[in-house]
Amino acid sequence: MVAVTSMKRVRCWVWFRGGLNQQSHWEGGFYASTDEQEGVLIQHGTYRDTRVPAWRVTQQEPSDLFAAPEIPEDAVWKII
């Protein structure tokens, strides 16, 4: 994972957990920013702004869109 620079909006890819009809994958087109709050704020035109843990975000396009990042054992998927 590449650290997202504080208060700077950068393009990023976000890891999504699969569902019944979709496998887990990286999805592009997001913007990420950080501030004093926990996690990374991700924004996309068709999704609601959401704060997620940094392990779900990368600034570089993954070479394999279905290769999972290193997921912590006690992983939090969304920060509320």
Torsion of CA 79, 76, 9, 14, to 10 degrees: -130
What is the average pLDDT value for the chain, to the nearest integer? 91
Domain boundaries, the chain: 1-80
The pTM for the full model equals 0.84
Give the whole-angstrom CA distance, residue 13 versus residue 16.
10
3 pLDDT tier (thresholds 50, 70, 90): low
> Token pair for residue 67?
């290769």
For 27-49, the pLDDT digits (tens) are 999 999 999 999 999 999 999 99
